Amino acid sequence: MILKNLTWFLKGEVSIIGVIDMKIIKVLLSILIVLTALSFPIDYLRQSPLVREIAQLEAPVRFLDEVRFDALAEKYIPLGIEKEQAIRQLESYGFNIIRSDIVPRLLKCEQCDKEYIFASYQFKNIYIIPSYLVSIQIGFQNGRVNIIAAVLFHSHDFIL
């Protein structure tokens, strides 16, 4: 087929497009469309207001920095609300929740209850590879939010 098209092209009977097999062009265009679609942040339009505000923070320097945003987290998860309400809110914002009795390294709370909440969110940008991670750690006193620590860091700087 390609040889036939090349012969027609050399005789002037077909344009350059006829030389290139249209199937190859379709495959290349399909690959380009898929790569373009994957380069946009996943669920960008469906992100919660909290996640959108976190995304606007200055990005941390890789392996060196973390960005704290405790006050921003408290805007969406106010101090004093009940534990289950805080968990439901974080889940509605797209965060994964882990309950633990391990004291988070970001929280300094001697009077807190023994159960803590770790909430995490991954920003996935190009090619579905996580680029930044968000960690919100919450301590409770008498079943109510007492302290919040929130940090944005590069995905390779894993934190607990």
Indicate whether 66 and 133 sit together in one domain. Answer: yes
Query: Is the full-model pTM beyond 0.85?
Result: no
Are 70 and 112 in a shared domain?
A: yes
Q: Are residues 78 and 104 in the same domain?
A: yes
What whole-number percentage of the chain has pLDDT above 70? 66
Give yes or no for a contact between 6 and 21, defined as CB atoms under 8 angstroms apart: no
10 and 54 part of one domain = no
The tens digit of pLDDT for each residue in 19-34 reads: 556 677 777 777 777 7
Which tokens in the block code for residue 125?
Answer: 């940008």
Q: Are residues 31 and 54 in the same domain?
A: no
Range of 138's domain? 49-154
Under DSSP, the state recorded for 81 is -
Question: Quick one: how many helices (H) and strands (E) in the chain?
Answer: 6, 5
d(CA 52, CA 54): 5
Give the number of domains in the chain: 2
* Same domain, yes or no: 125 and 77: yes
Residues 72 and 146 in one domain: yes
| DSSP calls for 102-122 | SPPTT---TTS-S-EEEEEEE
Same domain, 33 and 60: no
Q: Which range has the top average pLDDT, 38-42, 48-52, 153-157? A: 48-52
Within a domain: 56: yes
Tell whether the torsion through CA atoms of 16, 19, 24 and 26 is positive or negative: positive
Q: What is the pLDDT of residues 87-137, one digit of tens each?
A: 999 999 989 999 988 877 778 888 888 889 999 888 765 555 557 788 899
Query: Would 159 be classed as within a structural domain?
Result: no
pLDDT score recorded for residue 43: 54
